[in-house]
Amino acid sequence: MHMPGHKRNTNIMSMINPYEIDITEIDGFDNLHDANDVLKKAMERAAHLYHSEHTHFLVNGSTVGILSGISAVVNRGDTVIVARNCHKAVYHAIYLNDLKPVYIYPQIEQNYDINGGISPEKVEEMLINNPNTKLVILTSPTYEGIVSNVKKIAKICHRFHVPLMIDEAHGAHFGFSKDFPVTSIESGADLVIHSVHKTLPSFTQTALLHVNGKFVDNERVKKMLSIYESSSPSYILMASIDLCIELLENRGEELFTQYKKNLDTFKMGLELKHLTILDESVKNQSDVYAIDESKIVISTKNSNITGKMLYDKLLNKYKIQLEMASMNYVIAMTSICDSKEGFERLRSALIEIDFEIDDNYRIQDRTSNSNSITITTQKYTIYEASHKESEDILLSKANGRICGEYVYVYPPGIPLIVPGEEISNDFIEKLIEYKQSGLDVKGLKGVNEEFIIVLREERTK
């Protein structure tokens, strides 16, 4: 149970031979970067479906929407307020525009060791303290399905005449059923990015960028898209988006009704003694406004196994591929294209595994989740740090040095530390534990990933 959202389910989605539709900007087939015919109509259909003023097809993933949206709003050197649990694409936009980020940290939901929501009151406080802010950038829902109070945050931002961008990549399915949260578009965000390939039946790399309100110039967004996005966009990918939109128009209610039944059946009477599944009980705690139940988050915190151990057992013994593993939980990512049989297999496997867990043993002193962010001290902007000389040193010797590279666990790709931030012993210990637990840590070097890139001769301690 993992991306992409189409799950290779050809009973729901199918396409003719892709070679037959792999064309370019020939007569009658429009141009994505100057759309005035079939592509213009297709994007207008998508905008109508999502209740958006403007919607742009993206063939370079949500990444290109993030890069273009941010670049359309800011000038070089501007200040932006950024949720510290944003995807690395946001940090790349910060680098490219030499922005000055002011970070807002999500609370940690202690029962599940996951990032909670973003506090509207904290956003307001930061806007007061940083009056030159040009953009607020948040992620909602998170990888784990945690939704922030976007409506309240949007009202606060607009009171300060500041636009709000929401990376809603994991919420492209929102708004099509009362059983899921409303979209950030309906909640008043100015820029919203959707990865249709993540949670809906569309090909990998396909996404949407929605532009609304008076604080963002759509023409400037289009200009930035023409810079960052391929000048030869794939018609196969664009056709995939259009087919997805058509499916939602014609069969959305039917498919989401069945999907909800599958989710309810999976949870009904599922009594686990050691493993726990994220549910509505976390709402109104740690700034959690709502949850996305399409993400089945299974916690191992109160057991004798780690998230990675559960992930491996489901894969190797039960042949169930999940989306990701963290220290204390795993994520099964579901969609309207998952089969009833798939839900039943996961349910049965979890019951068996839970029964086998030792009642008398629990892993002690386990590090919290691998997506939680250690609060770091920023010594240079990302742009400044990226243009300084660097060197590789042993991770164990890096305390007090200034990081010269992004380090993150993948998936999902949320930086644990970025260039220009000081490396602490806490960070080193956490990273070593992640590696020992078998998590896929990116950004380190060496055969055994024992080296980290730091700025040359930059030491604070």
Residue-wise pLDDT tens digits, 379-398: 999 999 999 999 999 999 99
**Two tokens, residue 125:** 């406080």
SS3 71: helix
Residue 151: inside a domain, yes or no?
yes
Residue 398: inside a domain, yes or no?
yes
Fill in the DSSP letter of residue 423: P
Which of the residue ranges 22-26, 313-317, 363-367 has the most confident prediction, judged by mean pLDDT?
Answer: 313-317
Q: Report, as an integer, the average pLDDT of 163-174.
A: 98
Q: Report, as an integer, the average pLDDT of 153-166.
A: 99
Confidence of residue 412 (pLDDT cuts 50, 70, 90): confident
SS3 364: coil
On whether both 104 and 43 belong to a single domain, the answer is yes
SS3 252: helix
Residue-wise pLDDT tens digits, 299-312: 999 899 999 999 99
Residue 420: inside a domain, yes or no?
yes
Res 379: pLDDT = 94
Q: The CATH number of the domain where 92 resides is what?
A: 3.40.640.10
| 460 pLDDT higher than 60 | no
On whether both 231 and 273 belong to a single domain, the answer is no
Res 48: pLDDT = 98
Q: Report, as an integer, the average pLDDT of 107-117.
A: 92
Q: Phi and psi of 80, rounded to 5°?
A: -130, 145
Res 338: pLDDT = 96
Distance CA 432, CA 242 (A): 45
Residue-wise pLDDT tens digits, 180-236: 999 999 999 999 999 999 999 999 999 999 999 999 999 999 999 999 999 999 999
Residue 460: inside a domain, yes or no?
no
- CB of 57 within 8 A of CB of 43? yes
* Closest by CA position to 150, among listed 211, 191, 113: 191
Element housing 250 (H / E):
helix 235-267
On whether both 92 and 236 belong to a single domain, the answer is yes
Domain end (from 250, 267, 286): 250
Q: Phi and psi of 442, rounded to 5°?
A: -105, 150
- Find where tokens 């999976």 sit: 266
Res 16: pLDDT = 80
On whether both 191 and 257 belong to a single domain, the answer is no
More confident: 447 or 199? 199
DSSP letter string over 125-175? HHHHH-TTEEEEEEESS-TT-EE--HHHHHHHHHHTT--EEEE-GGGTTTT
Residue 140: inside a domain, yes or no?
yes
Q: What is the mean pLDDT of the chain?
A: 94
Residue 443: inside a domain, yes or no?
yes
Residue 9: inside a domain, yes or no?
no
On whether both 235 and 115 belong to a single domain, the answer is yes
Domain end (from 218, 250, 282): 250
Strands 100-104 and 146-147: unpaired
Domains of the chain: total: 3
Strands 54-58 and 451-459: unpaired
Element housing 239 (H / E):
helix 235-267
On whether both 177 and 88 belong to a single domain, the answer is yes
Q: Phi and psi of 90, rounded to 5°?
A: -65, -40
On whether both 66 and 206 belong to a single domain, the answer is yes
Element housing 277 (H / E):
strand 276-277
| pLDDT > 70 in the chain, percent | 96
Report CA dihedral (397, 92, 140, 111) to the nearest 10 degrees: 0
Confidence of residue 448 (pLDDT cuts 50, 70, 90): confident
Which of the residue ranges 110-114, 352-356, 357-361 has the most confident prediction, judged by mean pLDDT?
Answer: 352-356
Res 370: pLDDT = 52
Residue 341: count other Cβ atoms within 10 Å of its Cβ: 9
Which of the residue ranges 145-159, 364-378, 399-413 has the most confident prediction, judged by mean pLDDT?
Answer: 145-159
Confidence of residue 364 (pLDDT cuts 50, 70, 90): low
Residue-wise pLDDT tens digits, 319-354: 999 999 999 999 999 999 999 999 999 999 999 999
On whether both 145 and 117 belong to a single domain, the answer is yes
SS3 143: coil
Cβ-based neighbours of 320, under 8 Å, separated by 6 or more: 1, 314, 332, 345, 346, 349
Res 54: pLDDT = 99
Q: What's the pTM?
A: 0.94
Confidence of residue 316 (pLDDT cuts 50, 70, 90): very high
- CB of 167 within 8 A of CB of 90? yes
Distance CA 94, CA 168 (A): 18
On whether both 76 and 172 belong to a single domain, the answer is yes
On whether both 323 and 438 belong to a single domain, the answer is no
Residue 77: inside a domain, yes or no?
yes
On whether both 290 and 276 belong to a single domain, the answer is yes
Confidence of residue 26 (pLDDT cuts 50, 70, 90): confident
Res 294: pLDDT = 97
Res 361: pLDDT = 61
Q: The CATH number of the domain where 272 resides is what?
A: 3.90.1150.10
SS3 431: helix
Domain end (from 365, 386, 403): 365
DSSP letter string over 305-320? S-HHHHHHHHHHTT--
Res 461: pLDDT = 53
Res 374: pLDDT = 76
Domain holding 393, by residue range, is 377-455
Confidence of residue 367 (pLDDT cuts 50, 70, 90): low
Res 239: pLDDT = 96
Cβ-based neighbours of 461, under 8 Å, separated by 6 or more: 399, 400
Angle at which helices 38-50 and 235-267 pack, to 10 degrees? 20
SS3 15: coil
On whether both 388 and 314 belong to a single domain, the answer is no
Strand partners, 459: 401
**Two tokens, residue 302:** 């109160």
| pLDDT > 90 in the chain, percent | 85
Residue-wise pLDDT tens digits, 252-285: 999 999 999 999 999 998 999 999 999 999 999 9
